[in-house]
Structure 1
Amino acid sequence: MTSRGVVRSWNVRGMQGVIDSADTPGGSWTPWISVAVPGFPGLAEGQEVEFEWHQLDEPADGYDFHTVRASPVGTEPYTRQGPFSSRAWHIDPDGSAHEITDLDDTIPPRIGTPASGVVTTWNDDEGWGVIDSADTPGGCSTFYSALHPDEVINAQPGDSFSIGGGIRGLDVGEQVDFEWESVIDQDGYKFRAIKVRPRREIPLWRVERIGR
């Protein structure tokens, strides 16, 4: 089904976002592979889009709807030529993206600086929060995607997953172990979490690789 909607959020590091529309209450989860634009496959918060979607048999990542294809209103959906798995991008701290060419077979996984801290803020609706620790003065911004299993966080270009189970949020006041990296500005913070692992027991993640 095709609808018109507005991009609620887009996580440039996690390469995913959410589109809101009257036809998809609660939002339609949108991975980068669904973005039909030339160049870097990303959308912008507040952008109006035309998108194709389907309703899932059971929620994935906490959403009942999944975006199949999305493009800005007033543009023709872009069809990529050749396998997308041959492309990768370097994302600068300011959010700008540059295509990497002449790739080796694999890209080393992102590795951050390990630390421990306490969750001071968490927004369930938008899937982001702040971790406070001595190593990240002023707070470390984190997104729901940092909770994903390592297999997903360290995915290679062209990988696509169906993800269920696990958790999609943190509890204010809980202790977590995390890996962080420095950024110029992430919503007013100088640090961003790559991986976050709560110390409490959490449900098992269900991860199914659906493409590469």
Structure 2
Amino acid sequence: MTSRGRVRSWEILGMQGVIDSEDTPGGSWTPSVSVAVHGPPVLTPGEEVEFEWQHQAEPLYGHSFFTVRAWPLGTEPVAQSDRPTSGAWNIAPDGTVTEVTDLDWEEPIRVGTWSVGVVSVWNGEESWGVIDSEDTPGGCWTFFSALHPDEVINSRSVGGFSIGGGVSDLDVGEQVDFEWEPAIDQDGYRFRAIKVRPRREIPPWRVERFEG
């Protein structure tokens, strides 16, 4: 579902915040990957936005709503495929944003590459973890939303989803297939998972779309 709201808070170091609206009592938790803008994926406290959200069966960080996509009021959301991928953004603690054009990688950055890895960390209370692989030295950070069905992750249409079934966590030691992208500092990691697919059998997903 799409709603109009106002940014309550934004943590520049954690790259996350909360959006308030009448449709999402208690606020909608918003990670930087959900910010559909050109340039640095950040929001400003007090800023009016439009955002797509979904209800969580289990509260996340104390919030029962999760922001799928958000963008400043009066603008058009930028599709994930249209967001810059050749550069990166370094955000200092004081809020200063600078573009990084040379990451000094030993190999060219591969965006959207599927790799095979093993789950080394999973924080069930906060729904995030780390996947180890040869392609992502130092570990690849991942969030539970990377487990969602492709129709949700790849959605470019206006609207939200109610999601049930499936899985919402990973098991330490299990092997997964995952798609990743580079990150300047995702909770201390240089890689972030876009999609994660466990190799074990999982229950069917139940997805209901809410059109805005």
Q: 1:114 deviation in Å?
A: 0.9
Distance 1:93 1:207 in 2: 33
Is 2:89 aligned against 1:94?
A: yes
Counterpart of 1:130 in structure 2: which amino acid? Answer: V
After superposition, the Cα gap between the structure-2 partners of 1:188 and 1:116, relative to the gap in structure 1 and judged at 3 Å, is same
Alignment pair present for 1:193 and 2:188: no
Structure 1 residues 175 and 28 mapped into 2: Cα distance closer, same or farther (>3 Å)?
farther
Question: Do the aligned partners of residues 151 and 191 (structure 1) sit closer, same or farther apart at CA in structure 2, a change above 3 Å counting?
Answer: same
SS in 2 for 1:145: helix
Root-mean-square deviation (Å):
4.6
Gaps of 5+ in 1: 20-26, 49-55, 69-78, 98-110
**1:149 Cα shift?**
0.5
Alpha-carbon displacement from aligned partner over 1:57-112 (angstroms, at most 9, x marks no partner): xx8342383489xxxxxxxxxx9459x66x55736743889xxxxxxxxxxxxx71
Secondary structure at 1:94's aligned position in 2?
strand
Deviation at 1:147, TM superposition (A): 0.5
| Whole-angstrom CA distance in 1 between matches of 2:162 and 2:90 | 26
Give the Cα–Cα distance (whole angstroms) in 2 for the partners of residues 142 and 211 of structure 1. Answer: 28
Post-superposition offset of 1:185: 2.1
Q: After the TM superposition, which residues 152-171 of structure 1 pair with which residues of structure 2 at under 5 Å, given as runs?
A: 152-156=152-156, 158-171=158-171
Alignment partners' CA distance in 2, 1:93 and 1:184: 7
2:89 partner SS: coil
Partners of 1:127 and 1:138 lie apart in 2 by 20
Distance 1:93 1:144, change over 3 A: farther
The sequence identity of aligned pairs, in percent, is 54
Q: Which amino acid is 1:90 matched to?
A: R
3-state DSSP of counterpart to 2:151? helix
- Partner residue, 2:58: 62
Sort the Cα spacing of 1:196 and 1:184 in 2 relative to 1 into closer, same or farther, 3 A.
Answer: same
In the alignment, which residue of structure 1 is the partner of 2:151? 151
Aligned-residue offset at 1:124: 1.2
Deviation of the 1:179 alpha carbon: 0.9
TM-score, with structure 1 as normaliser: 0.57
| Aligned positions, number | 166
2: CA distance, partners of 1:67 / 1:178: 22
Equivalent position SS for 2:152:
helix
Q: Is the 8 A contact 1:94 1:185 kept in 2?
A: no
Q: 1:31 to 1:150 in 2, by over 3 A?
A: same
- 3-state SS of 2:203 partner: coil
- Aligned residue runs from structure 1 range 1-212, under 5 A: 30=29, 60-63=56-59, 65-66=64-65, 80=73, 88=79, 90=83, 93-94=88-89, 112-156=112-156, 158-212=158-212
